[in-house]
């Protein structure tokens, strides 16, 4: 067991981990931040996406120990300071971009990373970027709409094409 320290959602945290402990395990079991989900064991579903130093990362594909001193943001840290939903979260609700909610944290984190990189993505760019996030419920229709809406684009016109 080794001590690891990092900042998670603006809060300094530390804990004892094994060398093989994944970031997602540290978040879920070590810190009780169960919003980040595990949907696979081959790093292909995206349910576990968080931000590490501002970049979208699959938390099942990095070891906690490799993130000494890192700045981590999870779904629990995405709402506005007053607790209201952020623009992206609100767009997911407004456009029914979630059903069972299991893929949702990863989707929101991926969408946030996309919009940080590319503030006005095309439909095709959204679909391409979200390739690493599986959703079995929504058929992606409303997720793509939500992301386009969060970028300030007129989704009614795009989806009616």
Partner 1 sequence: MPKDHGIGASQKRREDLRFLTGRGRYTDDINLPGQLYAAFVRSTVAHGRINAVDTATAAAMPGVVRVFTAADFAAVGGLPCGWQVTDRHGKPMLEPKHPVLAEGKVRHVGDPIALVVAETAEQARDAAEAVILDIAELPPVLDMKAAVAGGPLVHDELGSNLCYDWGFVEENREAVDAAIRSAHHVTTLELVNNRLVPNAMEPRCAVGDYNPATDETTLYTTSQNPHVIRLLMGAFVLGVPEHKLRVVAPDVGGGFGSKIYHYAEEAAVTFAARALRRPVKWTASRSESFITDAQGRDHVTKIELALDREGHFLAVRTETYANMGAYLSTFAPCIPTWLHGTLMAGNYRTPLIYVNVKAVFTNTVPVDAYRGAGRPEATFQLERVIDKAARELGMDPIELRRRNFITEFPYQTPVALVYDTGNYHATMDRLAEIADLAGFEKRRQESAAKGLLRGLGVNCYIEACGIAPSNLVGQLGARAGLYESATVRVNATGGVVVMTGSHSHGQGHETTFAQVIAEMIGIPESQVEIVHGDTANTPMGMGTYGSRSIAVGGSAMVRAASKIIAKAKKIAAHLLEASDSDIELKDGKFTVAGTDKSVDWGSVCLAAYVPHNYPLADLEPGLEETAFYDPANFTFPSGAYACEVEVDPETGKVTVARFAAADDFGNVINPMIVDGQVHGGIAQGIGQALLETCAYDENGQLVTGSYMDYAMPRADDVPFYAVDHSCATPCTHNPLGVKGCGEAGAIGSPPAVVNAVIDALQRAGHTHVTHIDMPLSPARVWAAMQH
Contacting positions for ligand FES (CB under 6 A): 38-40, 43-48, 58, 60, 98-104, 135-138
Taking residue 52's Cβ as centre, other Cβ atoms within 10 Å add up to 18
151 belongs to the binding site for partner 1 (CB under 8 A): no
Residue among 31 and 45 whose Cβ is closer to ligand FES:
45
DSSP H helical ranges for 41-103: 87-94
Of 15, 3, 9, 61, the C-alpha closest to 35 is 9
Of 101, 102, 98, 108, the C-alpha closest to 77 is 108
Least distance to ligand FES from the beta carbon of 54, Å?
19
The partner in contact with residue 71, picked from partner 1, ligand FES, none with C-beta cut-offs of 5 to 8 angstroms by kind, is none
Residue among 133 and 151 whose Cβ is closer to ligand FES:
133
How far the first Cα of the chain sits from its last, in Å, is: 56
- Of residues 8, 105, 112, 115, which one binds partner 1 by CB under 8 A? 105
Q: Are the C-beta atoms of residues 64 and 74 closer than 8 Å to each other?
A: no
Least distance to ligand FES from the beta carbon of 123, Å?
19
């Amino acid at each position: 067991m080794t001590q690891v320290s990092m900042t998670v959602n603006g809060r300094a945290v530390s804990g004892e981990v094994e060398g093989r402990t994944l970031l997602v395990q540290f978040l879920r079991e070590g810190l009780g931040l169960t919003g980040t989900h595990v949907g696979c064991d081959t790093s292909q579903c995206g349910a576990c996406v968080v931000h590490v130093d501002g970049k979208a990362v699959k938390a099942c594909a990095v070891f906690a120990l490799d993130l000494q001193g890192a700045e981590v943001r999870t779904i629990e840290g995405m709402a506005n300071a007053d607790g209201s939903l952020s623009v992206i979260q609100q767009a997911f609700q407004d456009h029914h971009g979630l059903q069972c909610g299991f893929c949702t944290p990863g989707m929101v984190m991926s969408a946030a990373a996309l919009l940080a990189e590319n503030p006005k993505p095309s439909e095709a760019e959204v679909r391409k970027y979200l390739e690493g996030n599986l959703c079995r419920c929504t058929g992606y229709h409303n997720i793509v709409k939500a992301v386009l809406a969060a970028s300030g684009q007129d989704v009614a016109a795009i989806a009616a094409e």
